Amino acid sequence: MKAGAAIASPFCGSLSACAAVIGYLRLHSQSPSFLGHSSKSSVLGRPSLLTSARNRSSRPRLFSSSSMMASLFKPEQARVPPALQLPTPPITKFKIGLCQLLVTANKERNIAHARQAIEDAAKRGAQLVVLPEIWNSPYSNDSFPVYAEDIDGDASPSTAMLSEVAHILKITIVGGSIPERHGDRLYNTCCVFDTDGKLIAKHRKIHLFDIDIPGKISFQESKTLTAGETPTIVDTEVGRIGIGICYDIRFQELAMLYAARGAHLICYPGAFNMTTGPLHWELLQRARAVDNQLYVATCSPARDAGAGYVAWGHSTLVGPFGEVLSTTEHDEDIIISEIDYSQIELRRMNLPLEKQRRGDLYQLVDVQRLNDQGNT
């Protein structure tokens, strides 16, 4: 073992961490005031059993002082700027609908089919409906420019449908993603609509899907798409929601930013493939949920074995304890499941991670929030 290496301990994160705490206690135990008695009240170096009641009442509790640990470890400094308090959501319990759709080359059919699925989910009680990644187009670099829409203009039949149905049904929609054309650039974009049908958020995929697994799969979104530049978190009628698209889920820093910004739920429309899907899809969802103690919802296209890109499917809702609350296989399906935000507070009391972080050792910097603070 290398000199200075940490050794695992069941009581501390490492023996070096334990040593730091013990060293602190030993250092301060040399001071009579630390133990609440004078040197005259000890015999043979031991504290006297006849310590006054006044001294006993003022003596700090040696091993149960969370405040002392906090002062040592500075958990509030582990997030820069400091993490926001979890907001009180407008609603505590509600149903979410995850629409796992079969996507075809017929754009008009895809739009009509998505609308029908949203209406079916709403009839079954869903107040929040999530669609898959690239639900109006085949998933390919050749298709993205052909199916792309100008979301900010009047040439987006896909988002026009989402806006209309959200308004009619009075539901919140996380509209999966579609190829977006903005000037001479293309983006993989998710739009969020409120119950009035208003576009309240637009997330452009931050991490582009550029991978090469020899003999398995090779894909480069960057051949046609441009990476987004902004994390997206939005207050809705069903709570504060962070948005990521597919490959974004692999980057835990984004989920950590959303948690520090007070997200109750992160939605990831995604289309994992037949190579990484079986290995990583559920694993990543559960990791993002349990690490940040919040809900994670994913929505995939249904599997089409004859497509150029074959999706894994398995749309899922994961709770803040890392538990799979609801999932499906690879065929078309609509998952209806309940979200109960009181579970977030419960799990954060069970495992008070926010109070146990080591701001003295590491920090997560939210560059956007930090810059915004500097500009005010």
DSSP codes joined into one string, 315-355: -EEE-TTS-EEEE--SSSEEEEEEEETHHHHHHHHHS-GGG
Q: Is position 2 annotated as part of the catalytic site?
A: no
The single residue of 246, 267, 282, 299 carrying the catalytic annotation is: 246
Q: Which amino acid is at 248?
A: D
Alpha-carbon span 156 to 218, nearest angstrom: 30
d(CA 296, CA 230): 20
Amino acid symbol at 232: T
Q: Which of 99, 107, 133, 180 is catalytic?
A: 133
Is 246 tagged catalytic? yes
Angstrom distance (rounded) from CA 313 to CA 329? 6
Q: Please choose, from the candidates 170, 340, 144, the residue with its C-alpha nearest in 3D space to the C-alpha of residue 239.
A: 340
Q: How many residues are recorded in the chain?
A: 376
Residue 216 known to be catalytic: no
Residue given tokens 């319990």 in the structure block: 93
Task: Considering the candidates 99, 202, 205, 282, report the single residue annotated as catalytic.
Answer: 205
What is the residue type of 74?
K
State the catalytic residues. Answer: 133, 205, 246
